[in-house]
Structure 1
Amino acid sequence: MESQEQRVQRPAVRQAARVVAVAGAALLVVGCAQVPLGGDTASEAAVSAPTVAAAEVLPRSLAGSYLVGSQAMRQFDSGIAQQHIDFVLNAEPENRAVLTKAFAVSFDNNAYNRAFALARIFDVSEQKNPLISLALAVEDIQRRDYAAASKRLNDLPSSSVNRAIGPLLLAWVNLGQGRYDQVEQTLTGLSAFTGFSALTNLHRALIAAAAGEHAAAIEHFQTAGAHKPPAALRLTLAMATEFARGDNRQAALSLIESRDDPLLDREQVIAHLQRTDSTSPRMSVAEGAAEALFDIASALHRERQNGSALFFARLATYLDPKQALGYLLIGEIHESRAQLQRALDAYQSVQTNSPFRLMANLRRAETLDANGDKAGATAVLTAMMTRQAGNPEPAIRLGDLHRRSEDWPQAIAAYDTAIARLTANEQANWSVYYARGIALERAKLWPRAERDFLQALTLSPDQPYVMNYLGYSWTDQGINLDRAEALIEKAAVLLPSDGYIVDSLGWIKYRRGRFDEAVTHLERAAELRPTDPVINDHLGDAYWHAGRRNEARFQWRRAQLFDPDPELRERLQTKLRDGLTAAGSDDRR
């Protein structure tokens, strides 16, 4: 029996926690223009420009270095970009195009002092750059020069992004200037943006809380939906903090207890709420402005404008070095660019006492594994399992890690721990039973695997990948064929263009002796997955029994081209030499 892992497509058992979806406000900026920083577009992942052998290209000419630096920026190699852009800048220190690139590269390298110095050189010109002007306003906020920040924000060059972030930052600057009564009028500028009501209410609440207006803050939090599922985690945490500051600790704890969220570090959050009271420090103007910058960064990220999102997230963490969600978003963007060490640095920047440290550690473990450090990833997850004694999520992630490396006993042990920690047989838990079932099946512990697949379907009956895996397993063992066929046919209706499921449909027709039907489905599967060796092998078998011997041999030869595993390669060689029966593959049971 060939490996299920070779031939059954499955989605990730647990998707990595994505900061914007899980923790950030669920907001979209409609019509945000692309920001010319960092060289990405809405299709950043598809960048296919020729690779610059930048390490071998030393600055020699201005034109050459400008081109090499620009290409390095497009390829997210900020170190090489800095080297070449600086070479040009030294020769042409007032060139606006070079200054813009030098500012962007310095910012990407976390060289904030240098970036702001370059921005101030640029800013003396009458022709302003929207983002450089915004960055200087952020620097004014960081220096608590609210008068300068207010003037700069009111004079921001127009762009769709600045029209969104300008009123948010101005509202916080108004608070810094003691003008709380002007906040509401300032925020009305956001009413022109579709979908911004939740964001506006969030910042009304945060500003009211920062101003000590407890009743108004709670009212705005309620308007924003902070007390209702599925409110963003940061929104719920902010409202719970305000309840605790108003000496209503029971309401604060009830908000947290109402959330069934495996990414919530309850121990950290409850400790925070227990020590929060009316004397606790309130959110500063810089921290509130950082929240606004993160909101715009997350919205840009949703629009797949990752260069712009990264710029705003860096502004957020510059203003507030404790801005955990900003670091998580920075790490996620670096991961998408295969800059794994930079992603790890960002995740490590989340403070150990942050409510989002659990989320950061989960991402760190996944990135360590992707970077080839399975031992490091295992150590992170094992420590989290110990510390988060009642939380199944670290154990699930550890099981996934071992499953990816085909360490079946360790995967099973981790999933056993995770399932023991599940508090209820809820629909969302189907994926954990499915994952353990895969590990058990691969470890040849079929009775237990079968129970897990059936449990997964009990919890969520319409999961096509579970139906396919179970149906194919039964088919390959020659048992429960009626039930197997029904499951696979249902899976094929749900996912008619999935090549692996269509292959399973053809395979059960084959195993039941209906070769013409089998050929029809297997030809379709081979169209959908033309380079899968097992599907090509199956089609060859079906052709053979349909009397199409030359076509069968063609498919078996074709299967050899697509890197079959040693066991399948040996069977293919035997079939090509002796025919199907001699290969021992004619047992349809």
Structure 2
Amino acid sequence: MEARTIPTCKRLFLASVLSLGAIAPAGADTSPVADYLKARAADAAGDSDRALAGYTRALAAAPASTAIATRAYREALASGDIPLAERAAAVLRGTADAPADLPLLPLALAAARNDGAGTDAAVAALAPTPLAVLVPSLRAWIAYTRGADPKSAAAAAGKNPVAQRLAAETMALVRIARGDVDGGLAAVQALRETGSPIDLRLSAAQLLFGTGHADRARTLLVGDDPVFVALRQGAGARPTLGFGVSRLLGRIASDLADQDAAPLSIALSRTALIASPANDRARLLLAAALSRDGAVPLALATLDAMPPASPFATTAAAARIAMLANAGRDAEALALACTGATRGDAGPADWQTYADRLVAADRPADAATWYRRIVDADPQEWSAWLQYGGALEQAGDWPGARAALQKAVAIAPDEPLALNYLGYAQAERGIDVKASTAMLERAHALKPDDGSITDSLGWAYFITGDTARARPLIERAAAADPTNAEIAEHLGDLYWTIGRRYEARYAWRAAALTAPAGDQARLSTRIVQGLMPK
């Protein structure tokens, strides 16, 4: 009989099971394997409780298995089961399978209890890992809490630009903590001008409130961001070791928020929260990381722990709505947004969230009512007029939409999004096509890499019969955004008009893959009959 080759995926799975010491003689106890596989299945299904229970049993039965310990460690961090995370970490420590972020857990636990020796040991364990960029900043905080000069610790950042940046931000906070408010604020401002994230301002403001400098704190919180508005009421923090470690870990977690690094994001934000349970910014980051990793129930549970009086509570409510919507739970998201928008103390942020969900639910006329509230609250905000006009257009009120879009352009004549929307909407309807095309040319000049604007300009040229100028623009837009159904349909129309019939049908078929249900009949007709003369 010919030997059969085991597929790669099965070989990898077999290797994983073998690493548990699971292939045993007949009659042997195989409960670690069963528990592990059940835990993996529960993990994949998003059932964190069953996953935790399975990994706990499997690790107890096979305490030397790094395969089980790795999974148990990740699940425990995600769920906040610190005892299980510590047991799993003890198995992994010193092995080839130990993840680089393993020292973060003892670091956070030691910082939370102000354990200098434990923090020193954890920092030393971080030094040989890719997270070594944190070490100079961590040692600066340790020096500060011991009453020593933190400058020499921060200077150890050397020439590594990431370590230098983190050390500079840390020293700005430490200067405020040491009473050098003017110097600290000057450093914060200088770092803001070179691109430091919002986390630095939030941490500095909380320190200033906590050390009795409320007026100086409010200078960092200018604007109508709901978090800033709430923080201006005076949410202070003391410059403890837990505060410093938590803010530093949260700062890195924030940087990773838009990247595909879920395990590290979860580890950083969870340990930031362990180091300082009052760090609700870290709680938000943890929930977001869990949601991106598909653990929506855990993410929602993390938000449940947000105190109602937290300055981040409004942001947490908006995050909950977004998570529900991203998980396909649209009715729940819409209901929650409605509750937020109709509260007695609701404001523009709540109205915006509800209006956006109404648009997503294909209720543009209802959305327009709420966008109008935002316009009335700030009539000089061009983006509010743009959204209001967009909702009116989708609802079929073109005169009202055009007036609102014209208002957006009048307020922001150099804003490419406003120019694009009004220019395209008018050109599509054959209204003042020359002036509309000029708007689109200006929008394209302001934002040449925007595929939607590029397509809009190409379409305006196509409408006027200038296919030579239209073709390279629409082709470029389609290449940049191959899943955009509207652009693909435009490309098909263009190709059919210039006689490239096979390519036209190919483009329409591509459009049909992602087009909404309401456009499918039109595209099907085009694919069969071609572009019919108007």
**CA apart distance, 1:439:** 0.6
Aligned pairs for 1:243-258 within 5 A: 243-244=208-209, 249-256=214-221
Which residue of 288, 297, 305 maps to 1:341? 297
**CA apart distance, 1:411:** 1.0
| Residue of structure 1 equivalent to 2:340 | 383
| Residue of structure 1 equivalent to 2:377 | 421
What per-residue deviation string (whole Å, max 9, x for no partner) do you get for residues 304-325 of structure 1?
5332222121111122221111
Q: State TM-score, norm by structure 1.
A: 0.70
Once residues 193 and 312 of structure 1 are traced to their aligned partners in structure 2, the CA distance between those partners, rounded to angstroms, is 21
Aligned pairs for 1:5-84 within 5 A: 62=22, 79=48, 82=52
Q: Which amino acid aligns with 2:127?
A: S
Q: Which moved more, 1:366-375 or 1:520-529?
A: 520-529
CA contact (8 A) 2:106 2:118 kept: no
Pick closer, same or farther for the CA change 1:161–1:357 going to 2, 3 Å.
Answer: farther
1:362 has 2:329 as partner: no
Pick closer, same or farther for the CA change 1:83–1:577 going to 2, 3 Å.
Answer: same
1:156 has 2:93 as partner: no
Structure 2 stretches lacking a partner, 5+ long: 1-8, 24-32
CA contact (8 A) 1:537 1:555 kept: no
Give secondary structure in 1 for the equivalent of 2:420. Answer: helix
**CA apart distance, 1:461:** 3.2
How many residue pairs match? The answer is 508
Once residues 96 and 218 of structure 2 are traced to their aligned partners in structure 1, the CA distance between those partners, rounded to angstroms, is 53
RMSD over aligned Cα atoms:
4.6
| Residue of structure 1 equivalent to 2:4 | none
Which residue of 447, 452, 457 maps to 2:399? 447
Once residues 169 and 494 of structure 1 are traced to their aligned partners in structure 2, the CA distance between those partners, rounded to angstroms, is 43
Once residues 369 and 159 of structure 2 are traced to their aligned partners in structure 1, the CA distance between those partners, rounded to angstroms, is 54
Aligned pairs for 1:224-303 within 5 A: 224-225=188-189, 232-241=197-206, 243-244=208-209, 249-256=214-221, 259-266=222-229, 268-272=230-234, 282-301=238-257
Q: Which amino acid aligns with 2:89?
A: A
| Residue of structure 1 equivalent to 2:186 | 222
CA contact (8 A) 2:358 2:364 kept: yes
Once residues 511 and 259 of structure 2 are traced to their aligned partners in structure 1, the CA distance between those partners, rounded to angstroms, is 42
| Residue of structure 1 equivalent to 2:26 | none
| Residue of structure 2 equivalent to 1:19 | none
What per-residue deviation string (whole Å, max 9, x for no partner) do you get for residues 457-500 of structure 1?
23333444443332332223222011122233444555667665
Pick closer, same or farther for the CA change 1:495–1:238 going to 2, 3 Å.
Answer: closer
Q: Which moved more, 1:162-171 or 1:69-78?
A: 69-78
Once residues 225 and 511 of structure 2 are traced to their aligned partners in structure 1, the CA distance between those partners, rounded to angstroms, is 45
Which residue of 306, 326, 332 maps to 2:288? 332
Once residues 556 and 247 of structure 1 are traced to their aligned partners in structure 2, the CA distance between those partners, rounded to angstroms, is 64
| Residue of structure 2 equivalent to 1:189 | 156
**CA apart distance, 1:180:** 0.6
1:512 has 2:454 as partner: no
CA contact (8 A) 1:78 1:109 kept: no
What per-residue deviation string (whole Å, max 9, x for no partner) do you get for residues 489-531 of structure 1?
4445556676655554454445434566666766666666667
Give secondary structure in 2 for the equivalent of 1:264. Answer: helix
1:104 has 2:74 as partner: yes
Pick closer, same or farther for the CA change 1:482–1:353 going to 2, 3 Å.
Answer: same
CA contact (8 A) 1:506 1:518 kept: yes
CA contact (8 A) 1:209 1:282 kept: no
**CA apart distance, 1:293:** 2.4
Pick closer, same or farther for the CA change 1:374–1:78 going to 2, 3 Å.
Answer: closer
Q: State TM-score, norm by structure 2.
A: 0.76
CA contact (8 A) 1:172 1:289 kept: yes
CA contact (8 A) 1:138 1:319 kept: yes
What per-residue deviation string (whole Å, max 9, x for no partner) do you get for residues 246-267 of structure 1?
65544444544xx12423352x
| Residue of structure 2 equivalent to 1:147 | 117
Q: Which amino acid aligns with 1:141?
A: A
**CA apart distance, 1:360:** 1.8
Q: Which amino acid aligns with 1:62?
A: A
Q: Which amino acid aligns with 2:395?
A: A
Pick closer, same or farther for the CA change 1:452–1:156 going to 2, 3 Å.
Answer: same
What per-residue deviation string (whole Å, max 9, x for no partner) do you get for residues 403-432 of structure 1?
22221122111111111222x73xxx4332
Once residues 247 and 491 of structure 2 are traced to their aligned partners in structure 1, the CA distance between those partners, rounded to angstroms, is 57
Q: Which amino acid aligns with 2:187?
A: T
Aligned pairs for 1:426-575 within 5 A: 429-493=381-445, 500-501=452-453, 503-514=455-466, 548=499, 554=505, 558=509, 562=513, 565-566=517-518, 569=521, 573=525
Higher relative contact order (CA 8 A, sep 6+): 1
1:396 has 2:356 as partner: no
| Residue of structure 2 equivalent to 1:15 | none
Once residues 95 and 125 of structure 1 are traced to their aligned partners in structure 2, the CA distance between those partners, rounded to angstroms, is 11
CA contact (8 A) 1:120 1:136 kept: no
What per-residue deviation string (whole Å, max 9, x for no partner) do you get for residues 50-73 of structure 1?
9x99xxx9x998267799699879
Give secondary structure in 1 for the equivalent of 2:161. Answer: coil
Give secondary structure in 1 for the equivalent of 2:238. Answer: coil
Once residues 467 and 99 of structure 2 are traced to their aligned partners in structure 1, the CA distance between those partners, rounded to angstroms, is 68
Pick closer, same or farther for the CA change 1:261–1:149 going to 2, 3 Å.
Answer: same
Give secondary structure in 2 for the equivalent of 1:181. Answer: coil
Once residues 110 and 139 of structure 1 are traced to their aligned partners in structure 2, the CA distance between those partners, rounded to angstroms, is 13
CA contact (8 A) 1:440 1:449 kept: yes
**CA apart distance, 1:450:** 1.2
Pick closer, same or farther for the CA change 1:119–1:335 going to 2, 3 Å.
Answer: closer
Structure 1 stretches lacking a partner, 5+ long: 1-48
Once residues 176 and 497 of structure 2 are traced to their aligned partners in structure 1, the CA distance between those partners, rounded to angstroms, is 75
Q: Which moved more, 1:528-537 or 1:189-198?
A: 528-537
Once residues 218 and 115 of structure 1 are traced to their aligned partners in structure 2, the CA distance between those partners, rounded to angstroms, is 42
Pick closer, same or farther for the CA change 1:343–1:510 going to 2, 3 Å.
Answer: same
Once residues 206 and 531 of structure 1 are traced to their aligned partners in structure 2, the CA distance between those partners, rounded to angstroms, is 45
Pick closer, same or farther for the CA change 1:199–1:263 going to 2, 3 Å.
Answer: farther
Pick closer, same or farther for the CA change 1:143–1:231 going to 2, 3 Å.
Answer: closer
**CA apart distance, 1:340:** 2.5
Once residues 235 and 553 of structure 1 are traced to their aligned partners in structure 2, the CA distance between those partners, rounded to angstroms, is 52
CA contact (8 A) 1:69 1:81 kept: yes
CA contact (8 A) 2:488 2:507 kept: yes
CA contact (8 A) 2:73 2:88 kept: yes
Give secondary structure in 1 for the equivalent of 2:125. Answer: coil
Q: Which amino acid aligns with 2:294?
A: A
CA contact (8 A) 1:66 1:84 kept: yes
